[in-house]
Structure 1
Amino acid sequence: IEQALKRPRPIDIDLVNAQQARRILDRLVGYQLSPVLWKKVQRGLSAGRVQSVAVRLIVEREREITTFSSTPYYKITAVFSLPDGGELLAEGQSKPATAEAARQLLQQLADDSFAVSEIKKTPASRNPAPPFTTSTLQQAASNRLGFSPKQTMMLAQRLYESGHITYMRTDSLSLSPLAVKQMADHIEKTYGRQYLQTRRYKTKSAGAQEAHEAIRPTDISKTAITGKDSGQNRLYRLIWRRTLASQMAAAQLEKTTLNITGASSRYRFTASGAIVRFDGFLKLDPPKTDAASDVMPPLKQGEKLGVLRIMAAETPERPPSRYTEASLIRQLEAMGIGRPSTYAPTISTIIDRGYVVKRDLPGVPGELLRLRAVPGRPVEQSAETIMVGADKGKLMPTDIANLVNDFLTSHFTNIVDYDFTKELEGEFDQIAKQKKPWQKVLEKFYGPFKQAVDNAENISRAEVAGARELGVDPKSKRPVIARMGRFGPMVQLGRAEDAAKPEFASIPTGQSIETVTLEEALQLLALPRQVGRTADGKIIEANSGR
């Protein structure tokens, strides 16, 4: 601060114009597009240049998962006996597509003899991660501490206001020379000179503004802070470790790979591991697994190994993973969409508006085939029960998100177009560099956007409702439809123009317009139904809801 006060400079009006253009454009989108959603979809909704793209990412990922078709394969592993009486687990070179192919392979391999055919030892190093930016802090706090982006920014704000860390809204990786010197002195004094390796990090993102330093402790000698708020303490320790580790020596590893080949089948198994020769920055942040468990036994090339058992495990292909808050931020940043200061409020907004829910899925029971072979015996077969589709703490779109996303992609393509949103960020950067006038950027955007808003007046609510015909009720022969109603997603028996009045039932949490089946819809429409009477003659009804 003292150095800055000694060197004042004029306000950079180009940076002001870039910020002004971003603010005006975002307000144009929000103020003019949100009322369109109120009229055509549902009141209380909102749209935004970044939030609508975030919703689109989540909607499209969920649809990828829904349409994903898993093709199972069989993972081959073997357990070999070692000369010292120990055991060695190795993975096979192939993945049979069928149970019969896996069974035949296991029978063949169980009676084969195996020996070490190749030993590869290669040195490797592992470098520390750079200090935190806003987005990487949010990701690390989510993954390691279980904090939401909103919670992380709230705690970081308090740490900043208390003078414990530097400004927490930044996309820069740079550290001040003074801070680097303090860290170097601390590392050399605390851990020894061999642990010191100062670095200057450069931001790879083309759109980074780098107006501030990376997030770091203001006093590196303060290894922890005292106070009643454990969240602040945990976040500070995360920042402190990451910052100090960024100036420490790389960890030196030795990777060992063993190839084990069958004498007659020539089938190859591979076992690999790594040991830490010098821990370097891992002194501060040791790996979660014990390095000793990765040590390969001292074997020689040509040494024979006994077969204890060979296994084949049916393994389903996994669909794409749903987004967590951390992975959504990472994806937005990789696509060049949004700024460090926008990620946390964007995620909070799409949750608060009911577009996205953070949910645990219990999954459904399923069975996977397991085959096991030992020398001289037939192949044994068993089944393992697993939970299929189980997920924890993932972001999932609601029916309203699907509806709004389809409406925007059809009628306001630019707003949710990934490349268009990224190009706008680039144009804001051009304004900051005095290469484009901000008025022209807004004029270029607003003309087509205003025309799309005006055209939306002619779109009917029925067209937007996202109605999906599920089939025909076998009793009444009337169509069964899933659609968005005034009070949320519902199923409908019959049409408004039919002689008989349509019947309605709400779609409960856990089901959606896109996935509900005809059978499920008919069960919902059958409620309430009389299931009996009490001892004093009162009717007992089954129904959903409270």
Structure 2
Amino acid sequence: QEASVKLGNSVKRTMVVAQQLYEGNFEIPDYSGGLITYMRTDSVVLAEQALTQAQEVISNEYGIKFGLKEPRFFKNRSANAQEAHEAIRPVDLSLKPSTVKEHLSADQFRLYSLVWKRTLASQMAAAEIARTTLKIEAGVTKECLFVAKGQRVVFPGFLQAYTEGLEGSSPAAGEKDMILPKVEKDQQLQLKKLNLEQLFTKPPPRYTEASLVKKMESEGIGRPSTYAPTISTIQDRGYVEVTPEKQLKPTSIGEVVTDFLTDHFAEIVNLGFTAKIERNLDRIANGEEKWVEMMGNFYQPFHQRVVEKGESVTRAEVIKRRELGSDPESGKPVSVSIGRYGPMVQIGTHEDEEKPRFASLPGNLNLNEVTFEEAMECFALPRTLGNYENGEQIIVNNGRYGPYVKLGKKFFSLPKGDDPLNTDLAQAMEIIREGLEKKAKSTIHDFGDILVLEGRYGAYIKSGRKNYKIPKGVDPESLDEAACHKIIVEAPPPKGYKGEKNKIAKKRTA
């Protein structure tokens, strides 16, 4: 949660980086092994060794007055906290972030710094903050009451090392509150200026990844090892999308899936039921219940319900088609629904002699809110914008994975938020140029049917649809076509694979 709020990382990215810090494999002088303890835990208990070392580091870094005479102990708030491991902490607190910075990636350094600072802060003296509230009465009969609040830090304590992130806070959230002037009780004040401001009640904000994890914790759903996979899954399946504000916004597909599950499997997606299953799993882990009996009680009625719904629920019930009006040219009905590849607009029905016309609904249009006019505009795609520098046509369209620009057989995604209906030739050409430049930079060698590419996690070989690791110690720049052939042929097959040995992809051109 804190990495999401403070660092802006997704929960998935945080767990990947934490795993790297746990495994180690860093070339740090006079040190080997992982930098942090096991991360899939919600325990808040620190080992005695860590408590002792924390006081030594605090005294050296911040001074004796910032330390504690006796260690501070915490109790787990959750009755079912995973206490097989201690709290997440640096393995060696004497390894300051500045010491290991040059040996870590940017993400690794930021996360290690966060863990290091939070661990020390948990064993530092409390902060002393003086808070002041002024109540000012105004008006002939003192009918108006104005309130001003301010605070100042008397002694920073643990704040010297770490300030906790605030969900939805502004960039200025970490700044000090204003310092109030010194006034006496019943003192007469002169009004210099009066500002009027109208405020409206705002609905609760959408969940972010961090606040969703917090909600799951409070409801007793999931465990540290399942939070990241759960949140990643709903994004990977297109049930939610992340807004520029890092909020999780449900998509049309997500709303349809949710409606289907709550209509037909209400007891399964009930929060209370999920929390109950979690408690049962804890009982099994503690040896208080047998897993075979527990799974039997759940699975048999669940399987029966799946069979019944499979026979009784129709496709029409699931897609929940929404009629918008009639096509002015043909008079046929215009509707929106969920198709095989996502939200779509349809003119006509399957009962008509002519096949219905279909168009993808852009991601910025919601299935339940799209208007007739917006839906009809979708049939203006694909649009031919003109020709590129090489004479090939430039086409803009909306596809299964969002809006894109097409040049010959090459596809380039439109930036998030761009509308294919409003994209002009100049914008499309710029997108193509940037895409071609990016691809050229990632290509180390091009042997036609074999490519040596620079990827997110390093260089690799691509042959057809398969990717192959380049052996450790081999310089990608030094590879020729024969060396690539050798790596492909000698590459070990995927685990559990029983098919043919690796082959070189066939050339697609003469």
Query: TM-score, structure 1 length as denominator?
Result: 0.63
The equivalent of 2:130 in structure 1 is: 254
* Matched residue SS, 1:304: coil
How far has the Cα of 1:499 moved from its partner? 5.6
The equivalent of 1:209 in structure 2 is: 82
Distance across 2 between alignment mates of 1:407 and 1:270: 50
Matched, 1:415 2:291: no
Paired residues of 1:259 and 1:269 also in contact (CA < 8 A): yes
How far has the Cα of 1:260 moved from its partner? 0.9
Paired residues of 1:274 and 1:291 also in contact (CA < 8 A): no
Matched, 1:151 2:19: no
- Which residues in structure 2 correspond to 1:484-523 (within 5 Å)? 484-498=338-352, 501-523=355-377
* Matched residue SS, 2:365: coil
Q: Which amino acid aligns with 1:214?
A: A
Distance across 1 between alignment mates of 2:80 and 2:395: 61
Paired residues of 1:143 and 1:326 also in contact (CA < 8 A): yes
The equivalent of 2:35 in structure 1 is: 164
Q: Which amino acid aligns with 2:18?
A: A
Matched, 1:223 2:96: yes
Q: Which amino acid aligns with 2:349?
A: R
- Which residues in structure 2 correspond to 1:214-363 (within 5 Å)? 214-224=87-97, 225-226=100-101, 227-266=103-142, 267-285=144-162, 293-360=177-244
Distance across 2 between alignment mates of 1:260 and 1:202: 42
Paired residues of 2:240 and 2:250 also in contact (CA < 8 A): yes
The CA deviation string for residues 461-483 of structure 1, in whole angstroms up to 9 with x for no partner, is: 22211211224456655432110
- Which residues in structure 2 correspond to 1:115-194 (within 5 Å)? 139-162=1-24, 163-194=34-65
Distance 1:312 1:142, change over 3 A: same
Paired residues of 1:332 and 1:338 also in contact (CA < 8 A): yes
Name the Cα RMSD after superposition: 2.7
* Matched residue SS, 1:427: helix
Q: Which runs of 5+ in 1 are unaligned?
A: 1-138, 361-391, 532-539
How far has the Cα of 1:194 moved from its partner? 2.7
Paired residues of 1:356 and 1:398 also in contact (CA < 8 A): yes
Q: Which amino acid aligns with 1:463?
A: E
How far has the Cα of 1:407 moved from its partner? 1.6
Distance across 2 between alignment mates of 1:418 and 1:403: 19
Q: Which runs of 5+ in 2 are unaligned?
A: 25-33, 165-171, 386-393, 406-510
Distance across 2 between alignment mates of 1:530 and 1:166: 56
Distance across 2 between alignment mates of 1:201 and 1:292: 28
The CA deviation string for residues 280-319 of structure 1, in whole angstroms up to 9 with x for no partner, is: 1111125866776522111112222222222222333222
Matched, 1:436 2:436: no
Distance across 2 between alignment mates of 1:437 and 1:344: 28
Distance across 1 between alignment mates of 2:111 and 2:243: 24
Distance 1:469 1:299, change over 3 A: same
Aligned residues: 370
- Alignment equivalent of 1:481, drawn from 331, 335, 339: 335
Distance 1:344 1:269, change over 3 A: same
* Matched residue SS, 1:444: helix
Paired residues of 1:275 and 1:291 also in contact (CA < 8 A): no
Identity value in percent: 46
* Matched residue SS, 2:193: strand
The equivalent of 2:506 in structure 1 is: none
Distance across 2 between alignment mates of 1:307 and 1:140: 43
Paired residues of 1:150 and 1:345 also in contact (CA < 8 A): yes
How far has the Cα of 1:192 moved from its partner? 3.5
How far has the Cα of 1:190 moved from its partner? 3.8
Q: Which amino acid aligns with 2:54?
A: M
Q: Which amino acid aligns with 1:165?
A: I
User: Which is bigger in relative contact order (C-alpha 8 A, separation at least 6)?
Assistant: 1
Q: Which amino acid aligns with 1:429?
A: D
How far has the Cα of 1:251 moved from its partner? 0.5
The equivalent of 1:102 in structure 2 is: none
The equivalent of 2:501 in structure 1 is: none
How far has the Cα of 1:542 moved from its partner? 10
How far has the Cα of 1:193 moved from its partner? 3.4
- Alignment equivalent of 1:424, drawn from 267, 277, 280: 277
